[in-house]
Amino acid sequence: MSLVVVRAAGLVTVQDLGRPGRMHEAVPPGGALVQGRLIAANRAVQNPDDAPAIEVLGNLVIRAEQALQVATDTSSPRTLAAGDEFAVTSEPRRVAYLAVRGGISAPLVLGGRGTLLCAGLGGLLRAGQRFTGAGLAVVASRPLPAERAAGPIRLLVGPDPDHFAPGALELLVSSEYRILPSSNRVGTRLDGPALPRTGAPEVSRPMVIGALEVPRDGKPIVLGPEHPTTGGYPIVAVVAAEDLGRLFSIRLGGTVRFTGTFPTDETSVR
């Protein structure tokens, strides 16, 4: 199998399930922005879940150079003949995945095959770039895990309550926030009511994907797969791991609401 990129606009990269195990070297986990959707696209063409596929935050057109089977995370598998073009857009969501039966060939570097821009590994897809197949064996199709379809994004409160003025958390869970277009794989920037901080000194501390880091302007940034492993801004709350995919699927300009629980006693804050 081989395919060629006809057009790529936006953040279009090869991704897999990332490079866990290197955060002590300041290498973030990386991998698909929405892992569940990468897996959905891979399963649609009977690939292993971690097969490299193309992540599209924007638009992509490819052309098959030989017959090949493709699927996205939202479409059924389709066979392309040599010369056929296939377009993928992330609209109306933020991200879409294009999987090719057998996987896309990409070199294994530091335990992963995906692009990690912050570490200079891989790069944005560009017109004329050619990909060959990885030749991965067929995996029997499996049902996808159920995804919560709706409802506010669940947060686990903390771990830096001393850095926030009283009422910050109530403001966060009672307001609507907009996903800013400046968002990328490092962070998803939110616009909405500023969360009041105290004067507690900033300390460089370990970070985690899904953390709502709050700079001095009070507007939270949700850390994504290419986040710095340490950072000085305090964390008001962390998105529940199960809800990360839902949050990162919301289109730029779209809105989000949060709900919070205290992880220690499950007491709802609202």
Partner 1 sequence: MADWVPLGDRAIRFARPPRSAQALVRAVRAWPGVIDVVVARHDVAAYFDAAPGAPEAAAWPARIDALATAPDDPAAGRDIALRAIYNGPDLEHVAAATGLSSDEVCARHAAATYTVETMGFSPGFAYLGGLPAALELPRRTTPRTRVPAGTIAIAGLQTAVYPFDSPGGWHLIGSVTGVQMFGPDGPLLQLGDRVRFVS
Asked whether position 214 contacts partner 1 by CB under 8 A, the answer is no
Contact predicate 238/263, CB 8 Å: no
Asked whether position 158 contacts partner 1 by CB under 8 A, the answer is yes
Question: 234: which 2 tokens?
Answer: 């305090």
Binding segment toward partner 1, per CB under 8 A, in 49-57, 137-145, 167-175, 226-234 = 226-234
Question: Distances in Å between the alpha carbon of 236 and those of 158, 241, 266?
Answer: 5, 16, 17
Give, as one character, the DSSP assignment of residue 23.
G
Those residues whose C-beta lies under 8 Å from the C-beta of residue 116, and which sit 6 or more positions away, are: 19, 27, 28, 30, 122, 226
Binding segment toward partner 1, per CB under 8 A, in 44-52, 96-104, 142-150, 155-163 = 155-163
Q: Report in angstroms how near the CB of residue 5 gets to partner 1 at its nearest.
A: 23
Binding segment toward partner 1, per CB under 8 A, in 6-14, 130-138, 142-150, 153-161 = 153-161
Asked whether position 215 contacts partner 1 by CB under 8 A, the answer is no
The candidate with the shortest Cα–Cα distance to 38, out of 18, 15, 67, 12, is 15
Query: Hey, is 245 helix, strand or coil?
Result: helix
Whole-angstrom Cα distance, residue 181 to residue 188?
A: 9
Binding segment toward partner 1, per CB under 8 A, in 8-16, 97-105, 132-140, 231-239 = 231-239
Binding segment toward partner 1, per CB under 8 A, in 2-10, 92-100, 189-197, 225-233 = 225-233
Q: Report in angstroms how near the CB of residue 85 gets to partner 1 at its nearest.
A: 33
Of residues 19-58, those binding partner 1 (CB under 8 A): 20-29
Give, as one character, the DSSP assignment of residue 121.
B
Q: Report in angstroms how near the CB of residue 151 gets to partner 1 at its nearest.
A: 17
- CA dihedral of 124, 86, 39, 222, whole degrees rounded to 10: 40
Q: Report in angstroms how near the CB of residue 95 gets to partner 1 at its nearest.
A: 21
Asked whether position 18 contacts partner 1 by CB under 8 A, the answer is no
CA 219 to chain centroid = 20
Q: Report in angstroms how near the CB of residue 200 gets to partner 1 at its nearest.
A: 13
CA 199 to chain centroid = 32
Give, as one character, the DSSP assignment of residue 268.
B
Asked whether position 259 contacts partner 1 by CB under 8 A, the answer is no
Contact predicate 186/118, CB 8 Å: yes
Instruction: Kindly tell me which of 92 and 120 has the beta carbon lying closer to partner 1.
Output: 120
List residues binding partner 1 (CB under 8 A). Answer: 20-29, 109-110, 116, 118-121, 156, 158-159, 203-208, 210-211, 228-231, 235, 238-241, 263-264
